[in-house]
Amino acid sequence: MPDWSYHPLKEALLDKVNAKAGREFIHQSMSTVAKVPGGRSFIGFLGHMNPPHQIQKDIFQTRFSTSVGLSGVIDPKLSGLRAFQELGFGFVEIGPIVINEPHEQKEPLRENRQILFANQPEKVPLKLVIQKLTLLNIRIPVLAKIDAQVNSQELISVVQHLTPFVAGFIGTSEQLHFIDQDLARPFYVSFTAEEFNENILDELVVRSCFAGVVLTAPRQIADNYWLETANANESLVKIVKQAKEVNPELNIITSGGVETPNEAYRLVEAGSDLVMLTSGYVRAGPGLPKRINERILFEERPLQKPRWAWSLLFGLSILMGGLIALYFALTSIILPYDESFIGLTKEEILLVNPRILAFMSHDRMALAGTMISAGILYIQLARHGIKLGMHWAKITFHSAAIIGFLGILLFIGYGYFDWLHGLFWLILLPIYFFSFKEGKRVTGSPFSSHGENNTAWRIGLYGQLLFIILGFSILVGGIVISTIGVSAVFVSTDISFLCMSPEMLDNISSKLIPVIAHDRAGFGSALVSVGLLVLMLSLWGFRQGESWVWNTLAIGALPAFAAGIGTHFYIGYTNFLHLLPVYFLVVLYLVGLGLSYGFLKSNK
């Protein structure tokens, strides 16, 4: 569940139910999606959340794909464990772990949109932990937190049972004394920010199984519940710096004190090796780990200069093809080879029913406008995405291009092959081949300096949501139109405009409908490509200050909308129900531009 869906749902539903019910709904929903065939790929498609390889690190022979992890306090029932590994986390903490399930546990509370956690946290029985870790294919490291109240025998039992499944243990300094010296996994000692001091380290470093410390952000307590203090991040950064000054080799994991990418980066910069998210993750949304990863990469971003000239040429070719198609649609409408195939000249068709050519013109103008929009989108992706080595831009570019090439199969689906379309396809093919070849070096991950959860970001999420709906709607519309183009060809409003049934058209010329169908199918295919471009650009390209994304969506959609609406008024085909889907798309487009403007156009 990306931020653009999480926050609208949170405000509409989750903030109105109790904290535990909302938590379990989200976690179980995400895990269900991750469980079904193709679910993991679907989550990856929505969020593109895999951490960039440049920020991975090794600690005690364990590779963490990123330093960002999730605290066990967020998922005490382990209901979301399957899904969290798909959201950009480098590790997860589970626990506190006990032998047997407690009889009574206090649930978290929701108060003034804040989550209050019980001083005695929800605990996880060992049996459930073993069951989950055995059944689930967990591909990221797991750190097991042992409850502070387990006795020495229970402690040893937990360690023995979980050693094959986890990358390390978290416990108290007292528990450290009960652990054998030859412990097979690193043991981190947990402290609150108030408990930790420099003298404690002298007692711990002499233990061979001691791996480092877990520092918990300062909390304020009220009626057996806690929430983090307002200056939790600042206090935690200060403590991490002090600990690193005393022992630069000390491994430090922080827990809490992070609600924004900047706060996480300040902890990493101060010396924190791993950063666990707590209540800030709930407020900021599931996209927080991805945003933190991009913020960290921004400071270490590699300079890539891949080739992009052929991709630019491909976009220019699509644009020019659209302009040529627009010229023909506004002038001759049908070409000599069309007349030859139909068996009627343009003048003869006009004598039979002038609306036939007007109808054909409206499909060809719509196709031309869609191609011009596609060309603009391809050009912008090449200039601002592929040029900078962005892998997501390459995937967007080539997914839409391949679908567009396959669309030629629809041209002959009703028995008519347009040789001019075929020639254009053959000219594009070698250009695309070199574009695809140069794209193999485009492997970079996105980075961003955006580090705050400000108002522009929150409003921008709604703009992003509208553009995602817009792209998906165009995609579905393209599929529907393509299907109609190779099957029924006409809808009821088309018949009303033409004032002729398909049978009457077929009586005029048995080859008239195939010519109309091939235009309609081609238009649908072009819409599918544009829908994919808008959808994936909206899913993966929204970052603060990326003004080119806003410019691309603003300018790129205009030709398609202008042609789609203008051509209908040009020929007098103004049926409201027929144009209602286009009006709906225009509303999404305009409102989306307004909501996303402050986020995409501002670097602050």
Q: What is the pLDDT of residues 236-271, one digit of tens each?
A: 999 999 989 888 888 999 999 999 999 999 999 999
> What 3-state class would DSSP assign to 26?
helix
Q: Mean pLDDT across the stretch 337-354?
A: 88
Instruction: Decide: 272 and 233 in contact? Cβ < 8 Å.
Output: no
> What 3-state class would DSSP assign to 543?
coil
Taking residue 581's Cβ as centre, other Cβ atoms within 10 Å add up to 15
DSSP string covering 461-512, please? HHHHHHHHHHHHHHHHHHHHHHHHHTTT---HHHHHHHTS-HHHHHHH-TTH
Name the percent of the chain in helix, strand, coil, to the closest 5: 60, 10, 30
Per-chain mean pLDDT for the chain: 88
Residue 113 has pLDDT above 80, yes or no: no
Q: What is the pLDDT of residue 530?
A: 95
Cα dihedral across residues 408, 412, 417, 418: positive or negative: negative
Instruction: Decide: 317 and 371 in contact? Cβ < 8 Å.
Output: no
DSSP string covering 546-578, please? -HHHHHHHHHHHHHHHHHHHHHHHHHT---HHH
Q: What is the pLDDT of residue 330?
A: 85
pLDDT-derived band at 471 (thresholds 50, 70, 90) equals very high
pLDDT-derived band at 19 (thresholds 50, 70, 90) equals confident
Indicate the helix (H) or strand (E) that contains 370.
helix 354-381
Taking residue 576's Cβ as centre, other Cβ atoms within 10 Å add up to 8
Please write the tens of the pLDDT for every residue from 176-206: 888 766 688 899 999 888 888 777 777 777 7
pLDDT-derived band at 516 (thresholds 50, 70, 90) equals confident
Pick the CATH number of 3-300 from 1.10.3470.10, 3.20.20.70, 3.30.300.20, 3.40.1350.10: 3.20.20.70
- Of the two residues 525 and 276, the one the predictor is more confident about is 276
pLDDT-derived band at 533 (thresholds 50, 70, 90) equals very high
The burial of 90, by beta-carbon neighbours within 10 Å (0-12 exposed, 13-18 middle, 19 or more buried), is given as: buried
Whole-number Å distance between alpha carbons of 212 and 250: 6
How far are the Cα atoms of 464, 516, 596 from residue 553, in angstroms, in the given order?
11, 30, 11
Please write the tens of the pLDDT for every residue from 311-334: 999 999 999 999 998 888 888 888
Tokens standing for residue 130: 């073993």
In sequence order, what are the residues at sequence separation of 6 or more whose Cβ sits closer than 8 angstroms to the Cβ of residue 383?
308, 312, 548
Domain residue limits, the chain: 3-300, 309-444+453-600
Taking residue 425's Cβ as centre, other Cβ atoms within 10 Å add up to 17
